[in-house]
Structure 1
C-alpha cells in the first residue's frame, strides 16, 4: 500500500473516530493535533499540485475532516485558517517543483500519517 493510501486511510479513520464522539469544546486534548493536521493537508495541497498532482484531493480530505467534526462557526474558521496557513507557507518558497519540495512532501505525508494515527488511537475509544 502506498504512503498516500495509508495517509488517506488514516485521515478517514480520524474523521470517523472523532465524529463518533460528542461535540467537545475547542480545548479538547486532540484539538492541537487536528489543527496541525489541517495545516499539513493545506501544505500537501499546495506542494502536491506544484509537483504535478492535479486535483483537489487534499482539499477534499480537509472538507471531510470539517464535515466529520461539524464544528461551530468559530472552530470551523480555525480549521480553515490552519489549512490556509499550510497552503500559503510554501507559496513564497516554491514556485516550481524541486528536490526540496518533494522532500517536504515526504515529510508532511509522514507527519500527517503520524498525527492521524495518534489522534485515532488516543481518542478513538
Structure 2
C-alpha cells in the first residue's frame, strides 16, 4: 500500500494545475469480471474504505485532468494500475478497486463535458482531498 499511496502523494505535489487546452478524455480502465476461486476471499484490510475512496478520487482526476489537457493526465491510469498491482490481491479486490476508479471517472464524465473553471476547481479540490487521504493512509497504515 505504501508504494501506491506514495505515487498519489508525489503526483499531487508535482502534478501542477490543468492546462486550458481541451481534448477528448481517455476511457477508464476496463473492469474484468471477478474469476471464481476455490479459496474464500480474505477479509478486507482495515484501510479498505479509504483505499476505495482514493481509487475513486484517482478516477475522477483521470477524467478531469484529461478533459482539461493537463500534461500528467495519462499518468492517472498508470497510477491506478500501480494501485491494482500493489493492492489487488484477488480478482474480487481488483474488481472493487477498479469499480471505485470507474465510478469516479463516470461521475465527472456525466457532468463535465468541456473544461471550464468548475472543472479546474473540482480537479484542484480532488487533488487536495487525495493528498490528505493518501498522507493519512500512509501515516496510519504505511508501516
Q: Report the TM-score when normalising by structure 2.
A: 0.69
Alignment-derived partner of residue 18 in structure 1: none
Question: What secondary structure, in the 3-state scheme, does the structure 2 residue paired with 1:121 have?
Answer: helix
Matched, 1:47 2:48: no
Structure 2 CA distance for aligned equivalents of residues 49 and 68 of structure 1: 24
- Structure with greater helix percent: 1
* CA-atom RMSD in angstroms: 2.1
Paired residues, number: 108
Which residue of the other structure, out of 71, 90, 96, is the alignment partner of 1:72? 90
Matched, 1:97 2:98: no
Q: Which moved more, 1:99-108 or 1:48-57?
A: 48-57
Give the number of the structure whose alpha-carbon radius of gyration is greater.
2
Structure 2 CA distance for aligned equivalents of residues 10 and 48 of structure 1: 12
Residues 3-82 of structure 1 mapped to structure 2, 5 A cutoff? 7-9=8-10, 25-26=43-44, 28-53=45-70, 55-82=73-100
Alignment-derived partner of residue 123 in structure 1: 141
Return the offset for 1:10.
7.3
Structure 2 CA distance for aligned equivalents of residues 120 and 69 of structure 1: 14
Return the offset for 1:7.
4.5
Structure 1 CA distance for aligned equivalents of residues 87 and 110 of structure 2: 31
Alignment-derived partner of residue 19 in structure 2: none
List per-residue Cα deviations over 1:55-93 (Å, max 9, x = no partner).
Answer: 521011011111111420001000000000000001121
Which residue of the other structure, out of 105, 113, 138, is the alignment partner of 1:87? 105
